[in-house]
Each structure stands twice: as C-alpha cells, then as structure tokens.
Chains A and B, each alone.
Chain A
Amino acid sequence: MSATDTAPRAPVSTPAPSGRRDRYRRGPMRWLVLALLIAGAAVVLFPFAIILLNAFKSPTEYSNAGPLAFPTEIYVEGMIDFWNQVNFGRKLWNSFMIAGSVAVLGVVVSLFNAYALGIGRVKGRLSIVVLFLIANMLPHEALVYPLYWMANQVGLYNTQLAVIIIFTVIQSAFGTYLLASVFGTFPQELLEAAKLDGASKWQILWRVVFPISRPTLSVLFVFFFIWTWNEFFIPLIFLISNDRQTVPVALGVLEGERLMDATTTSAAALLGVIPAVIFFLIFQRTLARGITAGAVK
C-alpha cells in the first residue's frame, strides 16, 4: 500500500534520489501491485470490450459467430438506425439537462442542510442524519407509487421537473449525510475568527465554509451527475412522452418481450456510456483532489 501512496503525490515530476532507492528496495512488491492493478483493469474493461466488439457487428454475424468473435466488417448501420429511431440527440440533451440540474440543486441543498446539521448543530441532528440515510437507502420501487400519485395530483406527472425534484431530494439525502459528518470536524477556530470579525451566518457559509469545502462539493457534484445520468426506473415511470425521456430509458426500447437485439443494444450502450465517460475524464482531476480533500486540513 505504501508504494501506491507515494505514487500519485509525486507524478512524473522529479524522481528524487530517495524515491529511486525506495523503488529498488521495494522491487518485488511494486511488480506485484502492478500485476494486480493490470488484472483489476482487465476485469473492469472486459464489459467495455464486449460492448465495443458487438457494437460494430451485424446481427447476422452475431447470431452465427457469437458474442466473442471479432467482426469481419465494421457495421455501423445499427448505431445510425438507433440514433434516428429514438432521436438520440434529444435524449442526450434531456439526460444532460436533468442530471445537470439535479447535480447543481442537489449540491446546494446538501450544503444548506449540512451547514445546519454539521456546523449549526441543531438539536437531534444525529437522528436527522440517520433519517436522511434511511431515506437514501429505500428502494425506488417502494417510493414510486406514492411519488406518482403526488406528481399526478399537482400536475407534474410526465414532466422532467418531477424527475429533477425527486432526484434532488434523493441525492441530497446522501449529500447531507456525507457533508454533515465532514462539517462536524470543521475547524472551530475558523468559524470563531469569522464571528469575531462580525460575519453573519450567511456570510460564514459563503465566505468561509463554502470555499473550504469546495473540493468535497465538486465530488458530490460529479457523483450526483453520474448517478442521475444512469438512473432508469424513476425516469421510466415518470417520463411517458418519448421526447422527454432520458438515455437509459431510450435504451429500453431495444429489449422486446421475448427477443432482444444484442448488437444494436451494444451500439446504443456505447452511445449511452460515452457522455458519462467524457464527463468523468473532464472532472477526473477534481475527483482525485476531492477524495483526498474530504478530510479538512
């Protein structure tokens, strides 16, 4: 473990002499870790390889040669058909809009809640946090009928707003739980110093707490975005009109009652996963920084 600890801290920059000595001393261990990492990466990448392999294969070839064979020709018709059939550009935009709104709103709500619970120290905060955690762990199947009924009563059924509200609540339940515990260890000296300078509660939140916890908030933002992006069940129930649906729901069109279209499903899965991967790559640095910054210095 110690070998991996040092690795990300000192990237390529200057291989100090001491570091070199370390490498010689821990030689065999390093190779073992490398081998394990490669094996782990192979396991993680295997499903992607299968998708990639079948996304460019014609249905006939898939049926005749099986899912593991290499395609003899690149077949993109399935992908193009699917794109047009479900108006995929529109679905991408819907997903992006819903996941983006949820990520922003979820982070804001989590921040407010956690400020009250972690720093404000309201009474009974432990039970409130536990309540949030339980709410977060409830299976969506149990929630869906009451949610449907309420949405229908207020005229929000079949609107993206309903999905955004639901996920903002669900995600911020987790965010509140996490942030409240992080804020529980927030350095009191900073808060007291701000108070002495005459800062109001609002100012403390925006001038002190927010800037310091920004890395953690960015991590929450990225998580919320990706989690919401991948959600299937609630959007399936709430977004009835095709032009309001999200990417995962659109992929469902390909699975019939008794037959499935494996190659087009692969092609569509590839289209669906690319945006999430791009998003992850863009924010990957924030993520890495955020995880170590989770504990406030």
Chain B
Amino acid sequence: MHTPPRLISTRFAPIGLLAAGALVLAACGGDDGEQTGSGEADSFAGETLRLWHYEGDNSAMGIAWDEAIDIFEDETGATVEFEEKSFEQIRQTANMVLNTDEAPDIMEYNKGNASAGLLASQGLLTDISDAVEEYGWDEKLAPTVQTTARYDDNGVMGSGSWYGIPNYGEFVMVYYNEDLFAEHGIEIPETYDDLVAAMDEFVDAGVTPLAMSGAEYPAGQLFYELALTQADRQFVNDYQLYENPVDFSGPELRYGAETFSEWVEAGYIGDETAGLAAEDMGTSFIAGDYPMLYSGSWWYGRFVDEIESFDWSVSLFPGSDLHPGSSGNLWVVPTAAENEELAYEFIEITMRPEIQATLGNNGGVPVAAEPDDIDDDKSLELISLFEEAAESDGLAYYPDWPVPGFYDDLVGALQELINQNATPEEVLEQLQVAYDAGVEDITN
C-alpha cells in the first residue's frame, strides 16, 4: 500500500507522493522478471500489482476476479492493490490518469473505438501483441470477440495490434415471461412470423407485448436488430469498420426504421415509452407487466435474483443471424504501468477455465469456459446462446459505436418514431447526416 498514513493530511500530501514515488522505484525491480513465464511460484514476491476495475463486487465479473486475485497472490507471491472504481470516474478521467504516474498496472476499460481505441491511438495503452502470442490468448477467443481487442493506428477496431483482452461477452436477446404467454394461450415464438403473430395476439388481448425504453439504448438496439434481419456480415463491416459507405435508405436500415415504426403503430410498443429509462423498462419486466423484453445479457443476473412471480426464458431474436453484442470490457495495460509482466500474469489467470467457470456460474457470459464446468442450468441457457451467436460470427456490435455522439442521435431519432413525430424516411436522413459527418472525422 502506497497510501500515505492518516496523519499525513492534505497539507503534507506531497510527502505522500514522494512515498508513492519511492514504492514505484522499488517496484521497478520487477522488470528483471521478464521471460519468467506462467506458473513459476513466488518469482514476483514482494511486488505489487495495482489493479482497477468497476464491476460491482457481487456481479459475475466481480466474483470471478476476486477469485483470480486470490490465485494470483498465491501463485506469484505478489500483492494486489485493488481499487474498485466507478464507471463514471474511469470514463471521465482515464485519458488524464494514464498520463501520470498514478496509472495502475492493469485496469478494466470499455471496448470500442471511442474508448479503448481512442486511448490506444493516443499511445496510452501498451501494445500487448507479444504477450497474446506468448500466452496463446488469441486461440481462446472467437474471431468476432477478438474484433474489439485489436485497434489500428487510428483507433479503429478489428485490425492492428492487440490492446486488451476481454474475459466475458455480452449480447442482446429476447426475454419471455412464460406465465403471461401461458395465461393468454400463446406459444413462445420460434420464427420471426411467430413473433409478429404472438405480438398481434397480445395486442388483441389488450396487453402491450414489448417492454421498451425510448430514452436510452434499448430502442436503438431494437432498430439495429430489425435492420440486421435483412443484413449480412459485409453490412456490419461497412457500418462498424467503415469498409464501404453506408446508405441509410438502403434495404437494411430502411427496413429497420420502417418496421420499428410499424411496430409502434400496431401497438407492439407503447407510445408512452419514449421517455422511459432502461431501468424503468427492466423493472416493469421484473414486475411482470410485459410478456417480452428485448435487451442485453447484462440484465440476466439481476433477473435471476429478482424475478420471483413468474417463469422466464430467453432466445436470440428470431429470424436473424446477426445480433447486437460484442466482447465485454477489456483488461488493458497502461503504457505508464510499472509492472507489465505481472499484469500479463493476471490476465492469464482470468482466462483459466476455473475462473471462466466462476464467471459463468454467476450469471456472466465467459468467453473461454468449458461447458462442462457450468453446473447452473439457468447460466448454461445463457452461455449456449452466446456461443451460438459468437461461433456463427453473429455478433454485430452496437448501433451507436461507429461515431462519437451517435448514441444521442439514435435516441432522438427513435423517440421521434415512438412519438410518431417523424416518418422513417426523415429519421433515416437525420441519421445519415450524423453518421457521415462522424465517419468523415474518423477516417481522415
């Protein structure tokens, strides 16, 4: 711990800094430990790994990483100095902290061009390609999961060097309230046509079928999924990786906007949802108000804990091979880190089957778990869906990713559709302008 003792209050804080500096010097000895490889006990005794992440301590990741910290301390003899950060703080301060000697040795960071890609292009993250090869991490990760771990010189994901390693995945799917389906005598849909038919029956019965939030990400993800039903992988590469220009009035996105609008008109989506937050959408599903919810795997653990009054199940969105989803956040090693070797050692431990299994058994989506290690049925249901999507190269990332600030454009556009203030054509035009301007900035 480089923490200054309590008596040294702010007035003497520079002394605290000196103390930290001294420890940093002491830690530099670690660089000699290169090439020690994995599993060598006590080779790092007396050293410190400063680690930051921002997952709650009872979330799947929090639990699994706690276990990884214990194993790490046992095996290497080094101490982990862990601080739980807030998502907001990391988001706001990462590019500043990483430029100073306060930077940790390893931290969790958001994947994507605007997050990890940006830091990588600014030279704040270590290129870990050599470690990836040495430890063989690339063999453990499905190709669509790898996309978000690699960034080129402009910080665009999908190619170039490795800058991070994801431990978990996430994807968007449909959650069904089975009791409500049974009550109205409706079958759980298996095809896209079934889905539409089921929603019609619910509307006839006076039930709004789909929980929705227009004020946050869910509406944009549904719009994107509807577009993906008409799309192939090349469309995703064009949209997300800028391989070719994207035409918003083309068949995919036009279908998405028009269908979304039709769903609102048909009453599948309540028009009062334009102002609802994602949290409201989730709690209304938990309370049993809606038969269906289209949203991400991040709700899964919470639903397992909190849904008491009905049975529920999940499936991928019927009628589409592509689904919003990606790797989870990344372990990154700041350029200012003092102890890269220790950081790699830690990443290696988090990729082990037993840690991955812990992650999976607690409601997370591990990227490298052995299915046999997952003994919880509900978790297995989730993980097999993810594998289905990841192995068929079906993760299409998120609609707001390509362009900084596009999230707000999407939310605004879809609110107009929910409120029926604008036609799909008008909305697509707005989005085209915002998208093109953003891509122009990035690729030049």
Residues of A bordering B, CB below 8 Å: 59-60, 62-66, 85-86, 97-98, 101, 145, 148, 152, 155-161, 164, 233, 236-237, 240-243, 249, 252-262
Contacts and interface: CB of A to CB of B under 8 A. Distances in A.
A64 B286 contact: yes
B282 interface: yes
Interface in B7-23: 9-11, 13-14, 16-17
Contacts of A86: 84
B302 interface: yes
Given A97-B10, A161-B11, A233-B92, 4 more contacts: A60-B305, A159-B13, A160-B9, A240-B93
17 contacts: A59-B306, A62-B283, A63-B287, A101-B10, A148-B96, A155-B14, A158-B100, A161-B13, A233-B92, A236-B88, A240-B102, A241-B3, A252-B86, A252-B89, A257-B110, A259-B282, A259-B302
A295 B414 CA distance: 54
A236 B16 CA distance: 19
Given A59-B306, A258-B278, A260-B279, A152 B100 contact: yes
B352 interface: no
A66 B9 CA distance: 43
Contact of A63 (B84, B88, B93, B283): B283
A253 B306 contact: no
Contacts of A59: 305-306
Interface in B253-289: 278-279, 282-283, 286-288
B84 A97 contact: no
A60 B282 CA distance: 12
Contacts of B86: 249, 252-255
A259 B288 CA distance: 19
Contacts, number: 109
A249 B100 CA distance: 20
Contacts of A64: 283, 286-288, 306, 308-309
A258 B298 contact: yes
Given A64-B308, A161-B13, A236-B92, A256 B56 contact: yes
A164 B10 contact: yes
A87 B166 CA distance: 29
B97 interface: yes
B99 A159 contact: no
Contact of A66 (B54, B283, B296): B283
Contacts of A85: 57, 84
Contact of A259 (B99, B298, B308, B309): B298
A158 B16 CA distance: 10
Given A255-B88, A258-B278, A237 B10 contact: no
Nearest to B55: A256
Contact of A159 (B17, B88, B283): B17
Chain B: interface size category = 35 or more
Nearest to A164: B10
A162 B296 CA distance: 41
Contacts of B14: 155-156, 159, 161
A256 B87 contact: yes
B378 interface: no
A157 B279 contact: no
Interface in B89-111: 89, 92-93, 96-97, 99-100, 102, 110
B217 interface: yes
Nearest to A233: B92
Contacts of A236: 88-89, 92-93
A236 B85 CA distance: 11
B13 A156 contact: yes
B83 interface: yes
A289 to B, nearest CB: 31
A60 B102 CA distance: 39
Contacts of A237: 92-93, 96
4 closest residue pairs by CB, A with B: A159-B13, A160-B10, A252-B86, A63-B286
- Which of B83, B88, B287 has the largest count of A CB atoms less than 10 A from its CB? B88
Contacts of A65: 287
Contacts of A101: 10
A176 B78 CA distance: 52
B9 A97 contact: yes
A237 B95 CA distance: 11
Contacts of B309: 64
Nearest to A155: B17
Nearest to B303: A63
